[in-house]
Amino acid sequence: MKDKVFCVTSGKGGVGKSTITGNIATALAMQGYKVVAIDADIGLRNLDLVLGLENRIVYDIVHVIEGTCPPEKALVKDKKTKNLFLLPAAQTKDKSAVKPENMIAIVESLREKFDFMFIDSPAGIEDGFKTAVAAADGVLVVTNPEMASIRDADRVTGLCEAMGKPEPKLIVNRLDPVKVKRGDMLDVDDVMQILGLELIGIVPEDKSMVAYINRGQPAVLEKDSLAGKALRNIADRLLGKDVPFMKLDSENGFLSKFKKLFGGS
Amino acid sequence: MGFWPFSRKPSKDVAKQRLQVILKYDRAGLPPNSVEALKNAILNALKDFPFVDVSGVKINFPQNEREEKIELEIPVKADK
């Protein structure tokens, strides 16, 4: 059986977990797969914002656990992408409201009805993280190419292994080719070597990302977005397709274009 | 072209080096500086063996694997 339930986690906060979760889920739904994205960040929900669904939430995951409604009823249907559903986190409860066994029960009750499920983990390595990972077949660890994020990614990797999960796949987010070229940012090979994980995606730094989130419009829906393409590639790799990694060199950057224009190297 | 001409090595190389050491400590749950202390203790013990080139003793962290392992490199003096 192919993995269909993935937990997206990182240890450190702010590295782009929710953005990546929302985008990969959208990319797979665009291809016709039935996908549910579960926000496991109880009390600090954000996946609804990435998908632009914050005004459509009626029930959340805690209502499901309390028995107020069945899981299907709490699912929010995406308005832009057919086949995509969100199971929102509760905003007014705390992480203890969802236990690992609750997450497992919800995922198992939905498993047969969906092709893919993505669980957006809270930051940290405490119970909320463990609950998010508990129900997953596979783990996607997101890191930025910087020290604190890499160190934390290594911690969650160790914890996932201790929980008996298969070795996580690595997503390097916010890679800036200009900084790499300057020698001030670790490149993907460095990060892979340090963490010893198999790579499943490289997402370049994209200044437009904040605008996509402002609009609740995932980058994968934008044809011209480089980050969007990188995220669609991750979705394809999850489908087992052999997609080569995008060549990210600083020559595409604004600065180098500018330099070229004025005859610099 | 770097901001610091000629002298400095790229900051990413420093980051990589530091991370490789930090993660070894983190993964094995070692207290800070414990590997340094181990190295010193070993160096002391090796002084009694004239065929060992003490100045060349190295402690290595094997990279690219998640195994918790420290490698000790003890060079032998060639002319003995």
User: Is B2 near chain A, with CB under 8 Å?
Assistant: yes
Mean pLDDT of A75-91: 97
Nearest CA in chain A to B28: A158
Task: Convert the pLDDT of each residue in A62-81 to its tens digit.
Answer: 999 999 999 999 999 999 99
Q: Which of A147, A195, A196 has the CB atom closest to B15's CB atom?
A: A147
Packing angle between helix A127-134 and helix A147-162, nearest 10 degrees? Answer: 60
Say whether B11 and A194 touch across the interface (CB within 8 A).
no
pLDDT at residue number A265: 41
Element (H, E) at B58: strand B58-60
Task: Convert the pLDDT of each residue in A116-161 to its tens digit.
Answer: 999 999 999 999 999 999 999 999 999 999 999 999 999 999 999 9
Query: What's the CA angle centered on A117, arms A114 and A120, to 5 degrees?
Result: 155
Return the half-sphere exposure (C-beta side, CA atoms, 13 A cut-off) of residue A174: 16
User: Which residues form the domain of A58?
Assistant: 5-261
pLDDT at residue number A232: 98
Domain CATH for A126: 3.40.50.300
What ipTM was assigned to the predicted interfaces of this complex? 0.83
* Dmax (CA) of chain A: 67
Instruction: Report the number of distinct structural domains present in chain A.
Output: 1
Q: In a mutagenesis test of the B interface, which of A141, A143, A181, A194 is the best target, namely the one with the most B β-carbons within 10 Å?
A: A194
pLDDT at residue number A143: 98
Six-digit token string for A126? 């405490």
pLDDT at residue number B24: 84
